[in-house]
Chain A
């Protein structure tokens, strides 16, 4: 049993070592373009891009909230109306 377990463990270790070799050849540190790094750094210093992106993100959130509120209002109004009409119909029947 112990020998079998050891063989299994050895096989696993071999597989891991083999994968590590392959991965170290594939996953290597890469350098981003200097122009890109510099450009973003400059934008951060001026903060203009961040403000613009965040404004867009905020605008989306506000729009979604308004749309949700309107949808809920319409839904409740329709539901109320349906209930009202059902209640009104009952006594006549």
Chain B
């Protein structure tokens, strides 16, 4: 969807046009689901929270003002707040590993994934989920959404240089964490 078209759709949605909001929902549901899924680690909560993100967005869409940042940034902000609440509420509950999600399927053929030891994969995902939320967001945008540093900067409200720096620091920190664990080859 071109940017101008999205602006028109946003305008209509802000005026209460449910069909226009439906178009935005169709465009962003997968991205928000991915974000929430990798932040929570289980598919059921990811579905629940993704739905809530869009219900909340629908309720507050009339307050949305275009400040030059992508609409997705606004949705990610809502998702971030809901995920933070979820973590706070569930802090006493046990974590469910990502590998327990039976209904998930990756896009395309994942030969590398098949080769990777599941134990290592789970441990790495666990390490990622222990990173500060901003760093998790960055990794999700980079690897799941395949966004460029510029796009990530627009979404996260940071400069391209700051994104690049944060990205490098995050990867080095993760590498150090892995070296500290017994997963390193």
Using a CB–CB distance below 8 Å, which chain A residues touch chain B? 12, 15-16, 18-20, 22-33, 36-37, 40-41, 43-45, 47, 49-50, 53-54
B31 CB → nearest A CB, Å = 9
Is residue B29 contacting chain A, with contact meaning CB distance below 8 A? yes
For B, the interface residue count at a CB cutoff of 8 angstroms equals 46
Is B125 an interface position by the 8 A CB rule? yes
Closest partner residue, chain B, to A22 (CB atom) = B124
Interface residues of B in 1-55 (CB under 8 A from A): 18-19, 21-22, 25-26, 29-30, 33-34, 37-38, 46-47, 50-52, 54-55
Residue pair A29, B25 in contact (C-beta under 8 Å): no
B107 adjacent to A31 (CB under 8 Å): yes
Interface of A (DSSP majority class): helix
Chain B residues packing against A (C-beta within 8 Å): 18-19, 21-22, 25-26, 29-30, 33-34, 37-38, 46-47, 50-52, 54-56, 58-59, 103-107, 110, 112-113, 116, 121, 124-125, 128, 139-140, 143-145, 168, 171-172, 174-175, 178
Is A54 touching B172 in the complex (CB atoms < 8 A)? Answer: no
